[in-house]
Amino acid sequence: MRAILPFMLLLSIALLSGCTTDDNNAASSEKQAIEQAPTPFAQGAIALDIQTDPNLNAVHGIANSCTLLVIQASKSSTLNNLLNSPPRLRTLFSDAGGGDDILKVDRYSAMPGQRITLHIDRSQNSRYVAIVAGYYPFPQQQHRLLVAIPVISESDGWWNKTWHARLQPLYLRLRLGSDSISQFEGAKPLPLVSNTSNTLPDTPVRPAGGA
């Protein structure tokens, strides 16, 4: 019994030392772990299940296509500023880039009465995603969504607890109605900070092949 005790003591010390080994991704709190979670590129890590009504983006009673923008950035403030800038949004609908602070822009032309799932690569450093539906004449508040890429966290150790966090795939389901995004599931939309000083552009976003 006396021989076993020193061995168990040494084993316990070794285990505790292993728990406290330096880890670049370890944090002392869950909040810190989430904030510093690695943000690597991930193929197909953003999925959008899109369903459109037969009267999608109706103008004068005629259904039209609706261009959908999926925009990635590392900060929510970056996307909020973009969503509050009609001139910058217009350039995105015109196949232009969004600037150095925008990591990736994907465009998809949704057709009336359609059901499709899009698989989009998550860019390196991406933490937030904005979705803009290009309803005629120009996207309003009800046509824009901002969500955070989900993060899962877990802890290790007993006394010296450390936290780790990593990004998770983002799966969203949305329905595009006649004049707005009528259904949205998969994430809690973040508040959009409006800027009343920005006015609507003079030229509307015209549906492809529409009025």
Q: What is the pLDDT of residues 73-117, one digit of tens each?
A: 999 999 999 999 999 999 999 877 777 799 999 999 999 999 999
- Cα 21 versus chain centre, distance: 33
- Cα 161 versus chain centre, distance: 30
Given a cut of 80, is residue 194 above it in pLDDT?
Answer: no
pLDDT for position 46: 99
Query: For the segment 113-158, what is each residue's pLDDT rounded down to a tens digit?
Result: 999 999 999 999 999 999 999 999 999 989 999 999 999 999 887 7
Given a cut of 60, is residue 1 above it in pLDDT?
Answer: no
Contact criterion met (CB below 8 Å) for 39 and 77: no
pLDDT for position 24: 65
Q: DSSP strand E in the chain: where? A: 42-52, 66-73, 104-110, 115-122, 128-133, 144-148, 151-156, 162-167, 170-176, 181-185
- Kindly indicate the confidence band of residue 11, based on its pLDDT and cuts at 50, 70 and 90: very low
pLDDT for position 195: 63
Burial class (CB in 10 A: 0-12, 13-18, 19+), 44: exposed
- Cα 107 versus chain centre, distance: 15
Domain 44-185 has CATH 3.40.190.10: no
pLDDT for position 10: 44
Say how many Å lie between the first and final Cα of the chain, rounded: 89
Instruction: Of 191, 192, 193, 147, give the one whose Cα is nearest residue 173.
Output: 147
pLDDT for position 74: 97
- Kindly indicate the confidence band of residue 20, based on its pLDDT and cuts at 50, 70 and 90: very low
**pTM to 2 decimal places:** 0.80
CA distance 177 to 194: 23
Query: For the segment 166-190, what is each residue's pLDDT rounded down to a tens digit?
Result: 999 999 999 999 999 999 999 999 9
Both tokens of residue 143? 């046509």
Which of 62-66, 141-145, 194-198 is predicted least confidently?
A: 194-198
112 DSSP assignment = T
* Distance set, CA 60 to CA 99, 178, 179, 186 (Å): 35, 11, 12, 32
pLDDT for position 208: 52
Residue 5, SS3 per DSSP: helix
